[in-house]
Amino acid sequence: MKQQRGHKARLYLTPVQELAADGQGHAARTMWNLIHSWWTMLPKDKRNLGAADEAIRQGRKELPWLAALPAQASQAVLKTYFRAWVNCWERRADAPNFKDRFRSRMAIDIPQGRDLQIVRLNRRWGRMWAPKIGHLYFRWTRDLPVGKRANKLNKVTGARLVKEADGWHVVFRVQHEVPEPAEHTGPSVGVDRGITKPLALSDGTFREHGPWLTEGETKRLRRLEKKSARKRKNRKKGEKISRHLARTYDQIARLRATAKRRAVDWQHKTTTSIADTFSRIGVEDLAVLNMVKSARGTVETPGKNVRQKAGLNRAIAGEAWGRTVTMLEYKAAQRGGIVVKVPAPNTSRRCSACGFITPGSRETQARFVCKADGCGYEENADTNASRNIDHAAGSAVSGRGAGADGQAEKRQPPTQPHAA
């Protein structure tokens, strides 16, 4: 079967090439904004890709700085914009919006793989071609199907240049032909995501990590954030950002990008280990965006414990629960496994040994002691929740909890009970 994957590599540009790439990135962002203004201004019956394509061609003729973006990259911006509307119509994403100069990430598409001219120079370095920029050198960290190794089924189909806090990167779109995976014969597992215990597994083990930044990096980040706050306080409204403040923003962004890279690296290693070991992986179907909403409230009804809720929101966002599930889904599928999402309510309140929900069983945030008559099961609260998730994944438990009167719900016994 065909498998589409992305491979990211660090680019090393000369100052002239970096200037050209920045120009194309700003042109691509401006192209998006122009298409968005043109699209939303026209009546619905006159919106079509043909008219948009003609408008792009005319704009590139009349605006020389817009023509800095290659023609194929301009067409890719239009296709991406239309794809964003399709995702919105199908209720998978919000409507596309204006891209701010400082809040949006610069990106340049190279849609055709044959234009890349990828060559491996030695064990550590590779070279590629970017239109109107030239030959670019990148770190060779994974074998790519190029040269004699490339064919109709194994090839690089395109790439995208993206600028992040630590510089420019290239993301190759790689197509491989892989055999159909055999059915995974490993055991099943439930995974509970949390803050104190990032991942708790139903076999009683945990997957933990330390801080993403060292103590010195954390102090430096705090110092830079205080510095930027002072500079913003002294800046008049509407005044242009000074070079010193822009430099401080860049330093903060680089430290946060370092933390994100370490987090993604840990997630990749951890999810790979779980997907290799277990055949069926149960996870909670969480609405993470709703969980990290602010508790500030309104003027009429102000919220409570706003600072505490903000700290919890930052902790949840730092764990990137959604990215963990995404990694598990495609890695499990590659190995013949499956990820099952189960309803989240009461997974932490139900006893995984007897199946009852009894008020007061969750003694503390970290400890679960069943208060049901004749049970007395005691376990780490996250481990108990992960075992309930595993049971629900195997038996399609609805996960509905106690009623409005607070009475215990009818017992729902596990299909493969764990030893209490």
| Catalytic sites, residue numbers | 192, 284, 382
CA atoms of 124 and 344, how far apart (whole Å) = 46
Residue 95 CB-half CA count within 13 A: 5
Helix, strand, coil % in the chain, rounded to nearest 5: 40, 20, 40
CA atoms of 78 and 64, how far apart (whole Å) = 19
CB 133 within 8 A of CB 2: no
- Using alpha carbons, list the distances in angstroms from residue 158 to 6, 37, 53, 140: 10, 28, 21, 17
Strand, helix or coil at 246? helix
- Give 1-62 as a DSSP string: -EEEEEEEEEEE--HHHHHHHHHHHHHHHHHHHHHHHHHHHS-GGG--HHHHHHHHHHHHHH
- Using alpha carbons, list the distances in angstroms from residue 81 to 7, 56, 84, 211: 23, 13, 5, 37
Q: Label the pairing between strands 119-120 and 338-342.
A: unpaired
